Amino acid sequence: MQWETVIGLEVHVQLATQSKIFSGASTAYGAEPNTQACAVDLGLPGVLPVLNENAVAMAVRFGLAIDAEIPEISVFDRKNYFYPDLPKGYQTSQMGQPIVGAGEVEITLEDSSTHTVRIHHAHLEEDAGKSVHENFHSQTGIDLNRAGTPLLEIVSEPDMRSPKEASAYVRALHTLVTYLGISDGNMNEGSMRCDVNVSVRPKGQESFGTRAEVKNVNSFRFIERAIEVEVERQIDLLEDGGTVVQETRLFDPDRDETRSMRTKEEANDYRYFPCPDLLPLMLDQAYVDHQRTLLPELPAEKRQRFKEVLGLSSYDAAVLTATRAMAEYFEQVHTRCSDAKLAANWVQGELSGRLNKENLDITQSPVSAEQLGDLLLRLKDDTINGKAAKQVFAELWSRTFETADEVIEAKGLKQVTDTAAIEAVVDQVIADNPIQVTQYKDAEPDKRGKMIGFFVGQAMKASKGTANPQQVNQLLKQKLDALL
């Protein structure tokens, strides 16, 4: 039988606020345990929550970016359950009336095809703390520094049909939230966490199969794999005449499998009800309009502009807008050198290659966008040639010089464009290589073009790479053809 996979995602995005969603404690990552958990985060008796304006603004900007409705009223609810990392015995979340209504996100696959994933809603909630199982003999340590960190939970419709679509969706969200500046998007520190709802159905069937929820898939790498193994498991189960149980499962990347998390003997009953310590959140049109003015240029708009205004290819535009940092770097290089195509080639070529090799993020590049822009300017105005440019880049990368001009000066890389000087070099090369000259003369006319490369190489070598290659080429051709 042919099976179709149906995937929906719940993505928890940690918002990049300074303070917690309901308290003035810091959200900074990596502090000593419980030093960033104030009385409100700890759920001490008598304390009360007050909502962080920035968490609200960030959620609204996300909503606007996905073209969602921002309801005038949204409500915070309590989700009641006991767990040691949940200090109050309830999580403050939004159940019935979330801050962001239905919207959509466009995803692009490797073959450049685009799909639309509908967003059911997005809501604000507070994060829980962390449990530490090592170091404490037969006990668990609880660190509540993370408790109360604002999360935006983005709930998609079950619109994805393959693991690749799911990972493309998560990438699109990652790009979006980092563009918006509402999250640092750092998956290693848990800034984006995905729960994946997976089901399969016979191809052509309209109703959905029973789904399993695969929890806490926290890297791009694992999303596809987690779905693949879960889909395999479900299909094997169904083909063996079994049924899929609606349950929560955990992906174990080491064992390359998902396994049931059903350790609790009863189904949860979260007893949601409106939090009486928080009032309905009212966002009027003026507020929403104001937030709209704060939106940066979004990836889709940027892609469009790169194509239409800067004349880049679709491919270049997509690569250069993949992250906000990449786009910003490129734009700065372009501003400096005023040649979009040249800037695009270098950012995607020399720079990205080097970054990948050393496993660096573009924000960690030793060569700044200004430095690269100035270097390209020298390439463009023929001060140096392409080969020298690579040498300058290498010097800048190793930070032995501050600017491209310093390298060019110190290393004598300035291109020789003086015709007389080049002519002398060319004449010398012809005089020094009589055998090759004879071969050139005897060759079929259509082979000669290729043979001239030898002479160019010799000439460049003789000039220590500073001769303008085009000029060298032209002169050699002239002089050799005159010998025919």
Partner 1 sequence: MHDLTLAKIAQGLAKGEFSSRELTQHFLERIEKYDSRFNSFITVTGERALTRADAADTQRAAGQAGILSGVPLAYKDIFCTEDIRTSCGSKMLDNFKAPYNATVVEKLELAGTVNLGKTNMDEFAMGSSNETSFYGPVRNPWNTDLVPGGSSGGSAAAVAAGLAPAALGTDTGGSIRQPAAFCGITGLKPTYGRVSRYGMIAYASSLDQGGPMARSAEDCALLLNAMAGHDPRDSTSVSRAVPDYTQSLDAPLKGLKIGLPREYFGDGLDEGVERAVREAIAVYESLGASVIDVSLPHTQHAVPAYYVIAPAEASSNLSRYDGVRFGHRCDDPQDLMDLYKRSRAEAFGEEVKRRILIGTHTLSEGFFDAYYKKAQQVRRLIRQDFLDAFEKVDVLMGPAAPTTAFALGNKADPVQMYLQDIYTIAINLAGIPGISVPAGFHEGSPVGLQILGPHFGEAHLLNVAHQYQQATDWHTRQPDLP
Partner 2 sequence: MAIEHADVLRAAHLARLGIDDADATRYVGDLSRILEMVDALQGVDTEGVAPLAHPLDATQPLRADEAIEPDRREAFQACAPSVSQGYYLVPRVVE
The binding site for partner 1 (CB under 8 A) comprises 39, 42-51, 78, 80, 82, 84, 87-90, 142, 269, 271-273, 276-279
Q: Is residue 200 within 8 Å of residue 229, measured between CB atoms?
A: no
**Position 133 contacts partner 2 (CB under 8 A):** yes
Q: Phi-psi bin for 311: left (phi > 0), alpha (psi -120 to 50), beta? A: left
In this complex, which beta carbon is closest to partner 1, that of residue 220 or of residue 272?
272
Least distance (Å) between residue 148 CB and partner 2: 10
Q: Is residue 105 within 8 Å of residue 61, measured between CB atoms?
A: no
Q: Is residue 64 within 8 Å of residue 273, measured between CB atoms?
A: no
Residues 45-84 that bind partner 2 (CB under 8 A): 50-56, 75-76, 80, 82, 84
Half-sphere exposure of 67 (CA within 13 A, CB side): 9
**Position 43 contacts partner 2 (CB under 8 A):** no
Contacts of 49 (CB under 8 A, 6+ apart): 21, 22, 23, 40, 92, 275, 277, 278
Buried b (16+ CB within 10 A) or exposed e, 271-283: eeebbeebeebeb
> Residue 458 binds which one of partner 2, partner 1, none, with CB within 5 to 8 A depending on kind?
none
**Position 335 contacts partner 2 (CB under 8 A):** no
Residue given tokens 């005897």 in the structure block: 442
Residue given tokens 């959620």 in the structure block: 59
**Position 442 contacts partner 2 (CB under 8 A):** no
In this complex, which beta carbon is closest to partner 1, that of residue 89 or of residue 457?
89
Q: Is 373 helix (H, G, I), strand (E, B) or coil?
A: helix
In this complex, which beta carbon is closest to partner 2, that of residue 111 or of residue 265?
265
In this complex, which beta carbon is closest to partner 2, that of residue 133 or of residue 203?
133
Q: Which of 44, 109, 451, 483 binds partner 2 (CB under 8 A)?
A: 44
Least distance (Å) between residue 57 CB and partner 2: 9
In this complex, which beta carbon is closest to partner 1, that of residue 271 or of residue 461?
271
Distance CA 10, CA 20 (A): 21
Q: Which of 181, 202, 280, 366 binds partner 2 (CB under 8 A)?
A: 280
**Position 439 contacts partner 2 (CB under 8 A):** no
Distance CA 121, CA 104 (A): 10
Q: What is the end-to-end Cα distance of the chain in Å, rounded?
A: 73
**Cα 61 → chain centroid:** 19
> Residue 104 binds which one of partner 2, partner 1, none, with CB within 5 to 8 A depending on kind?
none
Residues 81-110 that bind partner 2 (CB under 8 A): 82, 84
Q: Tokens in use for 19?
A: 């303070």
**What sections of 217-272 are H helices per DSSP?**
220-239
In this complex, which beta carbon is closest to partner 2, that of residue 278 or of residue 437?
278
| Burial (CB count <10 Å: 0-12, 13-18, 19+), residue 319 | buried
CA 187 → CA 11, 46, 250, distances in Å?
12, 35, 17
Least distance (Å) between residue 98 CB and partner 2: 14
Which region, judged by CB under 8 A, interacts with partner 2, from 277-285, 333-341, 346-354, 424-432?
Answer: 277-285
Residues 112-131 that bind partner 2 (CB under 8 A): 131
> Residue 43 binds which one of partner 1, partner 2, none, with CB within 5 to 8 A depending on kind?
partner 1
In this complex, which beta carbon is closest to partner 1, that of residue 29 or of residue 272?
272
Residues 3-32 that bind partner 2 (CB under 8 A): 17-19, 23-28, 32
In this complex, which beta carbon is closest to partner 1, that of residue 76 or of residue 330?
76
Query: Residue 333 carries which side chain, given as an amino acid letter?
Result: V
**What sections of 184-339 are H helices per DSSP?**
220-239, 285-293, 299-308, 314-320, 324-337
> Residue 429 binds which one of partner 1, partner 2, none, with CB within 5 to 8 A depending on kind?
none
Residue given tokens 């960033």 in the structure block: 36
> Residue 141 binds which one of partner 1, partner 2, none, with CB within 5 to 8 A depending on kind?
partner 2
**Position 359 contacts partner 2 (CB under 8 A):** no
Which region, judged by CB under 8 A, interacts with partner 2, from 142-150, 202-210, 291-299, 467-475?
Answer: 142-150
> Residue 136 binds which one of partner 2, partner 1, none, with CB within 5 to 8 A depending on kind?
partner 2
Helix axes 434-442, 445-462, angle to 10 degrees: 160
Contacts of 367 (CB under 8 A, 6+ apart): 351, 393, 396, 397
In this complex, which beta carbon is closest to partner 2, that of residue 51 or of residue 462?
51
Q: Is residue 454 within 8 Å of residue 436, measured between CB atoms?
A: yes
> Considering only CA atoms, which of 199, 255, 146, 296 is closest in space to residue 3?
199
Least distance (Å) between residue 53 CB and partner 2: 4
> Residue 26 binds which one of partner 1, partner 2, none, with CB within 5 to 8 A depending on kind?
partner 2
Q: How many CB atoms lie within 10 A of CB 312?
A: 23
> Considering only CA atoms, which of 212, 219, 221, 199 is closest in space to residue 250?
212
Q: Which of 48, 109, 282, 294 binds partner 2 (CB under 8 A)?
A: 282
Give the binding site for partner 2 (CB under 8 A).
17-19, 23-28, 32-39, 42, 44, 50-56, 75-76, 80, 82, 84, 131-133, 135-136, 138-144, 263, 266, 269, 271, 274, 276, 278-282
